[in-house]
Homo-oligomer: A and B are copies of this chain.
């Protein structure tokens, strides 16, 4: 019994086949070539799985299901929105099945990451588990009783759009003050850039050659780790807003573990300690056990393996 997983990105389509113990048997990828007709991209996905199966001597009839992780929102097999590919209301499941007739499950990439962490990572054994990607945006995935939770209309788990600042900065979603605007890698870059402009003589300014275009999220964190006060205050502010969002998640879902993934999570224990300290001040009930916050296990193929683990 095998399962296939496809990780849809704006640059590449990556696919793999896992066995029933979720060991990766084989992987392959092709360029997404964004801008093409959706049908052509979907055919490429099906072809990838067919090629992988053939090259690994796996009969297509031995593949139980195919999971597809997308950086967008799907509902009943239809991709509602996938901005990177300019998709809106694309019948992904039914078109895919025209090319390859194996049960297809589609979910958001943060939800796929949550499923991966539940089976192989830091959400293992959680009755309620939450995954937050801290990347260009902030994505969220929720596991309840071992299954991905997407709400009543498939729009749940959009944790990056929890409101943290009333009338705050504009978010790409149309609303203002979303967690994503304050706790993404983009937010760290924005704060870092402002600092380079205002304080070119700071360690961060010097590291960026006094050119704000050079600022990256990693640079802000690295300079903070080296002890630069200005960079530390940026990371502290970042951790503060992240902790506000996490507190709202805790008071709603009360998970056992909240896993932090995505680029910013590579800051590791340095960031984690600040986030935990900021959250510890905010518990509603004293002496109660709240969610543990952990850095996600992730890994290169988590998007493929997690997708392969998707179920109905």
Question: Interface of A with B (CB < 8 Å)?
Answer: 73, 80-81, 126-128, 140, 142, 144, 149-159, 161-166, 173-175, 177, 240-241, 244-245, 247-256, 281-286, 288-291
User: Across the interface, which residues of B come within 8 angstroms of A155, CB to CB?
Assistant: 250-251, 254, 284-285, 288, 290
Interface of A is mostly: loop
| A162 lies within 8 A of B248 (CB) | yes
| A254 lies within 8 A of B174 (CB) | no
| B153 lies within 8 A of A256 (CB) | yes
A144's nearest neighbour on chain B, judged by CB, is B144
| B256 lies within 8 A of A152 (CB) | yes
**Cα distance, A174 to B282, chains bound together (Å):** 7
User: Across the interface, which residues of B come within 8 angstroms of A128, CB to CB?
Assistant: 151-152, 156
| A162 lies within 8 A of B254 (CB) | no
- 14 A-B pairs within 8 Å (CB atoms) are namely A80-B285, A151-B253, A152-B254, A152-B256, A152-B291, A156-B251, A156-B254, A158-B254, A162-B248, A163-B282, A173-B284, A174-B281, A174-B284, A175-B282
Closest 6 CB pairs of A and B: A151-B254, A156-B254, A152-B256, A158-B251, A128-B152, A161-B251
User: Across the interface, which residues of B come within 8 angstroms of A251, CB to CB?
Assistant: 155-156, 158-159, 161-162
**Cα distance, A291 to B151, chains bound together (Å):** 10
User: Across the interface, which residues of B come within 8 angstroms of A281, CB to CB?
Assistant: 174-175
**Cα distance, A148 to B37, chains bound together (Å):** 45
| A288 lies within 8 A of B153 (CB) | yes
**Cα distance, A74 to B277, chains bound together (Å):** 26
Q: Which of B157, B174, B282 contacts A252 (CB 8 A)?
A: B157
